[in-house]
Amino acid sequence: MEPMKALFLLALLSLGVGSRSYAQQPKKTIWQVGRADHSGTEFALAPAGFRQFVAHDFGHEDKRFVIGFSNEKTDFPYVLPGPVDTWGSTWSTAG
């Protein structure tokens, strides 16, 4: 067997072994917003304060949620308006 073919086959084999062991690693969550518990109490305006969406300055381009710095209880609303939700201020462009 030619040395280049042998080297190529060795490289393919090592890639296959490495990727197989990586695929078997347990999942690790990098970040998340909220909990999967069918409740929105950890978010701003919850449980029924959606009418205060504009008063809290949500829905405008200068409002943002920054992972690692923002707080979901004050900076991430439990509900986001769609195109027919006039309470969201920019309702005609939402969605």
- The predicted-structure confidence for 62-91, as pLDDT tens digits, reads as follows 778 888 899 999 999 998 887 777 777 766
pLDDT at position 16: 64
DSSP 15: H
DSSP 60: S
Residue ranges per structural domain of the chain: 40-95
Residues 9-22: pLDDT tens digits? 777 777 765 555 55
**The residue type at 50:** F
Residues 37-61: pLDDT tens digits? 989 999 999 998 888 888 888 877 6
Query: Alpha-carbon distance 43 to 82, whole Å?
Result: 18
Query: Alpha-carbon distance 5 to 28, whole Å?
Result: 38
Claim: this prediction has a pTM higher than 0.75: no
